[in-house]
Amino acid sequence: MIRPAAVAMAVALVALGVTFAQERVSSFEAAHAGGGVERGGADAETRTVIDDAGDRVTVKYPPRRIVSLAPGATEMLFAAGAGAQVVATDDASDEPPAARQLPKLGDLADVDMERLIAAKPDVVVVWPYGTSPAQIALLARLGIPVYREEPLTLAGIAASIRGIGRLAGTSAVADRVASALRARITTLRKRYGAVADPPTALLEVWDRPLYTVGGRELMSDALRICGVRNVFEDLPQAAPAVSVEAVLGRNPDIIIAAAPPGKGAAWLASWRRFPMLRAVRSGRLIDFEDQGFSGLGPAAIDATAALCRKIAAVKSGPVP
């Protein structure tokens, strides 16, 4: 799944890799000029569904061959009961374990289009922040349906699973899973989120350079459910880079290091150089290395529950 560091870096890496990806797309189109992708016959049954971006997507129904180009989407497809229909994924899709056995098509920013076409997908599921825009556009030009999976809240994960169930023809499973997830989110919100004046928190998802998340990112919603406010919630970017000076200026009550395994303690140690920060003075520094937190799939809800417990423990004392 997408790891905490990767959520922050994915947007940056896509931006850095756009030129290279566009070059790969141009080379592919030049090599396949005049060619197209064979679709189902005129009598094939189709269905039009609405994806998370609000776009209408018409697919052969039910789609027997689905390619996933996002770890969160892969996790969602399996959770929605469509795992048997997934024929290939991006390199980072490693959850659930069954996804590790599927053919891999490249990283988020630069998919091997030759191998993708060879997989003969009925539909490709992408994450707009992670998949190269140039390659998404190429898929559309080739006539391959593209379904954008983009939950922005924990509740959005449940809604996305329902949508994927409609896409894949597995609504009986997807709706049941989505209902259970929504019930769990409601329980978390009631237990932790009913706070009149929530403390602020810096969610650090990468250290050098320093990355956090903006207010519209799913992990920011998780903080709200846990009863704290993202100190950078006003930023519109999914994963903005911020300066140490900006953190000092906003002076969060809590600092959470959503780090790769074994890195969180070192990230927090670097903040102890700034005893003027409220989070440092009060000792409200949380090492949180649960890799499901930024997975954009059902595991993010389990991880949020774990984070809520950690936040509740450090909130017990007064804010200095």
Q: What is the pLDDT of residue 209?
A: 93
Q: What is the pLDDT of residue 250?
A: 97
Output the tens digit of pLDDT for each of the chain's 320 residues. 344 444 444 444 443 344 444 444 444 444 454 444 444 444 569 999 999 999 999 999 999 999 999 888 999 999 999 999 999 999 989 889 999 999 999 887 778 899 999 999 999 999 887 777 888 888 989 999 999 998 889 999 999 999 999 999 999 999 999 999 999 999 999 999 988 889 999 999 999 999 999 998 899 999 999 999 999 999 998 889 999 999 999 999 999 999 999 999 999 999 999 999 999 999 999 999 988 887 778 889 999 999 999 999 998 755 44
Q: What is the pLDDT of residue 129?
A: 76
Contact 108, 42 (CB under 8 A): no
Q: What is the pLDDT of residue 44?
A: 66
Q: What is the pLDDT of residue 16?
A: 38
Q: What is the pLDDT of residue 104?
A: 95
Task: State the sign of the Cα–Cα–Cα–Cα dihedral 28, 101, 171, 302.
Answer: negative
Which residues lie closer than 8 Å to 307 by C-beta, 6 or more apart? 222, 226, 256, 286, 288, 290, 293
C-alpha distances in Å from residue 49, one per residue of 21, 59, 144, 147:
28, 8, 15, 9
**Continuous segment of H or E residues that includes residue 107:** strand 106-107
> Residues 147-184: pLDDT tens digits?
999 888 999 999 999 999 999 999 999 999 999 999 99
Residue spans of beta strands (DSSP E) within 51-99 = 56-60, 66-69, 86-89
Q: Starting at the edge strand that comes first in sequence, how are the strands of the sheet with 254-258 ordered?
A: 229-230, 200-204, 254-258, 285-288
Q: What is the pLDDT of residue 318?
A: 52
Q: Kind of pairing, strands 254-258 and 86-89?
A: unpaired
Residue whose tokens read 């390619």: 67
Q: What is the pLDDT of residue 216?
A: 87
CA angle 105, 110, 111 (to 5 degrees): 25
Contact 265, 287 (CB under 8 A): yes
Q: What is the pLDDT of residue 293?
A: 83
**Please, what are the domains in the chain?**
4-176 (3.40.50.1980), 195-314 (3.40.50.1980)
> Residues 19-40: pLDDT tens digits?
444 444 444 444 454 444 444 4
